[in-house]
């Protein structure tokens, strides 16, 4: 991306104020999106890249909702295959390829996953997993993803399994299945990259603007920074508010389910770079994952529990989820996990479409694009992070039809996000690998902030990898408006509360000075 484009793709407090003013004074856009998660940001990008004028309003910050609490997997759709949902599985495999190879190679990586086999692993369960992985590999080929990027699944003997995951319990180990899927460095950063790419094409990305009432062509909204109420006009309003969508239009019924993860110190698990998939005892085709992350942590997930009551802004991880995850993971580890090794936890709500009966774990992961007959609002909901792009494409198609707009078909399948380059090109970027994994080809610019002002090259606290330069970059280019935006969405220091508290004084100071143009 050239320097000029970088400026256009920069989200700042000043830009937000200017663009909100223009809309509040009556300017009409083609498409107004409500919700700044992966779906809403994807819709904004799809519409802007078709040449439509676009605004997006987000009540809090980009990726404030579910999109930052995922398992960060770019799924090939194995789970859907298990449920016989071939179409959905195929869509996932194709979208995984788009992310890994075309739109976001910098934010994604192949992830090796070991499914260990013990003497007491039920033969049927193991055979089913092997068959699923083989079928998943056929979808990889269908999607055109080369085996050099996602190698074919294979069986490995016990010794190799222990080399891959040294912390595995050796007693009774018979070997395992080794497979490969995609993973994101960070889900929240994908959302920020989508929003910035859309902004580079002219979209107005307005955080801290809460939609209060939706009509097909108008949104009454509140600027959460000033408290002012504004009416924003559009040819078509698209509701992409995730689990909160149903509160904004009458025709959407959701049955959210809570998914919890724990953040562990990688050393306490004995994992290397290979993820560990642990079958939930007594359940077929349900796994708990231990997912190694860049930076020395492991995420342990995932629960799937129906939510009691309304979706609120923050979802706690109950002790029952913690116990369940630690217990299941410990069945295959040499050193059982305890509460002491838990450094943090996070939970998100799946925006599952309500269908009668069944557990939330069985509810459809399909998405829906629905037009409310009363208001004319188009809602896009459900699905998952991996398939955000097709969801966005279909939502914009519906918006174009509903409002009679003239627009070409979607081009996001071939549109690299801010910072993207081919995997080969990324290896030549002259910056620390950690930064390339977060910022892609923009990494040298982030590092350069520390060359100009040496204080910005320093870590936020001793032992922390994140530098002050990353905070300044978040304010100057990524739309961070306060310390929480930086701690919880631009960096993920917030996933370990101790780290967040250690970093907070420096981050608050840097954000404040950056907003005033002093850092």
Ligand X SMILES: Cc1cc2nc3c(=O)[nH]c(=O)nc-3n(C[C@H](O)[C@H](O)[C@H](O)COP(=O)(O)OP(=O)(O)OC[C@H]3O[C@@H](n4cnc5c(N)ncnc54)[C@H](O)[C@@H]3O)c2cc1C
- Interaction pattern, residues 127-156, with ligand X; x per rule: CB under 6 A: ------------------------------
Query: Rg for the chain (alpha carbons), in Å?
Result: 22
Pairing of strands 257-265, 297-301: antiparallel
Question: Residue 69 CB, nearest distance to ligand X (Å)?
Answer: 5
Give the SS3 label for residue 160: helix
69 in contact with ligand X (CB under 6 A) = yes
Phi, psi of 349 (to 5 degrees): -110, 125
Sign of CA dihedral 123, 124, 130, 134: positive
Return the closest-CA partner of residue 465 out of 441, 445, 446. 446
Give 240 or 418: the residue with its C-beta nearer to ligand X: 240
307 in contact with ligand X (CB under 6 A) = no
Contact region for ligand X (CB under 6 A) — 20-28, 57-65, 477-485, 504-512? 57-65
Give 68 or 445: the residue with its C-beta nearer to ligand X: 68
> How far is 386 from 96, CA to CA, in rounded Å?
6
> How far is 108 from 103, CA to CA, in rounded Å?
10
Give 175 or 494: the residue with its C-beta nearer to ligand X: 494
Q: Which residue is nearest to ligand X (CB)?
A: 37
198 in contact with ligand X (CB under 6 A) = no
Contact region for ligand X (CB under 6 A) — 13-21, 162-170, 369-377, 384-392? 384-392
- Interaction pattern, residues 401-440, with ligand X; x per rule: CB under 6 A: ----------------------------------------
- Out of 23, 37, 113, 205, the only residue in the binding site for ligand X (CB under 6 A) is 37
Question: Residue 172 CB, nearest distance to ligand X (Å)?
Answer: 30
- Out of 30, 46, 58, 470, the only residue in the binding site for ligand X (CB under 6 A) is 58
Strand partners, 118: 173
> How far is 91 from 352, CA to CA, in rounded Å?
18
383 in contact with ligand X (CB under 6 A) = yes
Give the CB-side neighbour count of residue 519, counting CA atoms within 13 A. Answer: 23
Give 118 or 244: the residue with its C-beta nearer to ligand X: 244
Between residue 329 and residue 358, which ones bind ligand X under the rule CB under 6 A?
Answer: 348-351
Between residue 240 and residue 269, which ones bind ligand X under the rule CB under 6 A?
Answer: 240-244, 248, 259
Contact region for ligand X (CB under 6 A) — 14-22, 38-46, 433-441, 469-477? 38-46
Question: Residue 166 CB, nearest distance to ligand X (Å)?
Answer: 25
DSSP state of 52: -
103 in contact with ligand X (CB under 6 A) = no
Q: What's the gap between Cα 228 and its chain centre?
A: 31
> How far is 32 from 111, CA to CA, in rounded Å?
36
CB distance 407 to 400 below 8 Å: yes
Question: Residue 390 CB, nearest distance to ligand X (Å)?
Answer: 12
Give the CB-side neighbour count of residue 342, counting CA atoms within 13 A. Answer: 21
96 in contact with ligand X (CB under 6 A) = no
Q: What's the gap between Cα 486 and its chain centre?
A: 16
- Out of 11, 35, 232, 442, the only residue in the binding site for ligand X (CB under 6 A) is 35
> How far is 7 from 364, CA to CA, in rounded Å?
41
- Out of 12, 71, 269, 514, the only residue in the binding site for ligand X (CB under 6 A) is 71
Mention every residue, 6+ apart, whose C-beta is less than 8 A from residue 473: 439, 445, 446, 449
> How far is 198 from 202, CA to CA, in rounded Å?
7
Binding site for ligand X (CB under 6 A): 34-40, 57-60, 64-67, 69-73, 75, 210-211, 240-244, 248, 259, 302, 348-351, 383-386
């Amino acid at each position: 991306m050239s320097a000029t484009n970088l400026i256009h793709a920069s989200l700042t407090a000043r830009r937000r104020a200017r663009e909100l003013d223009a809309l509040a004074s009556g300017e009409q856009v083609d498409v107004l999106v409500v919700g700044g998660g992966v779906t809403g940001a994807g819709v904004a990008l799809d519409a802007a890249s078709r040449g439509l004028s676009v605004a997006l309003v987000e009540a809090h910050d980009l990726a404030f909702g579910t999109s930052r609490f995922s398992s960060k997997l770019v799924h090939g759709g194995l789970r859907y295959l298990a449920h016989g949902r071939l179409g959905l599985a195929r869509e996932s495999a194709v979208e995984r390829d788009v992310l890994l190879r075309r739109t976001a190679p910098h934010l994604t990586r192949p992830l090796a996953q070991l499914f260990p086999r013990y003497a007491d692993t039920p033969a049927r369960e193991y055979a089913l997993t092997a068959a699923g992985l083989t079928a998943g590999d056929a979808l990889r080929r269908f999607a055109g993803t080369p085996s050099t990027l996602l190698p074919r699944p294979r069986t490995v003997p016990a010794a190799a399994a222990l080399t891959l995951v040294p912390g595995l319990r050796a007693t009774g180990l018979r070997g395992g299945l080794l497979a490969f899927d995609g993973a994101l460095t960070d889900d929240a950063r994908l959302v920020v990259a989508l929003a910035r790419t859309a902004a580079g094409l002219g979209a107005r990305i307005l955080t801290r603007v809460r939609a209060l009432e939706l009509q097909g062509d108008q949104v009454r909204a509140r600027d959460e920074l000033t408290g002012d109420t504004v009416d924003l006009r559009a040819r078509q309003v698209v509701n992409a508010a995730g689990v909160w969508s149903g509160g904004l239009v009458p025709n959407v019924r959701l049955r959210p389910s809570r998914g919890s993860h724990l953040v562990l110190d990688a050393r306490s698990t004995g994992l290397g770079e290979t993820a560990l998939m642990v079958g939930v005892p007594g359940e077929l085709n349900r796994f708990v994952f231990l997912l190694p992350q860049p930076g020395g942590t492991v995420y342990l997930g995932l629960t799937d529990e129906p939510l009691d009551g309304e979706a609120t802004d923050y979802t706690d991880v109950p002790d029952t989820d913690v116990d369940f995850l630690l217990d299941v993971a410990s069945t295959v580890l040499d050193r059982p996990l305890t509460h002491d090794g838990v450094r943090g936890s996070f939970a998100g709500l799946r925006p599952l479409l309500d269908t009668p009966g069944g557990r939330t774990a069985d509810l459809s992961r399909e998405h829906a694009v629905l037009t409310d007959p009363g208001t004319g609002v188009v809602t896009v909901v459900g699905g998952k992070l991996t398939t955000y792009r097709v969801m966005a494409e279909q939502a914009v198609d519906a918006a174009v039809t509903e409002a009679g707009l003239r627009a070409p078909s979607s081009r996001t399948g071939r549109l690299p996000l801010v910072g993207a380059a081919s995997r080969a090109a990324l290896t030549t970027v002259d910056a620390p690998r950690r930064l390339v994994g977060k910022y892609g080809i923009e990494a040298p610019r982030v590092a350069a902030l520390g060359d100009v002002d040496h204080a910005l090259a320093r870590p936020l606290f001793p032992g922390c990898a994140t530098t002050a330069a990353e905070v300044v970059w978040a304010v100057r280019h990524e739309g961070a408006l306060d310390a929480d935006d930086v701690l919880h969405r631009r960096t993920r220091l917030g996933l370990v509360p101790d780290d967040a508290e250690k970093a907070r004084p420096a981050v608050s100071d840097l954000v404040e000075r950056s907003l005033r143009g002093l850092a």
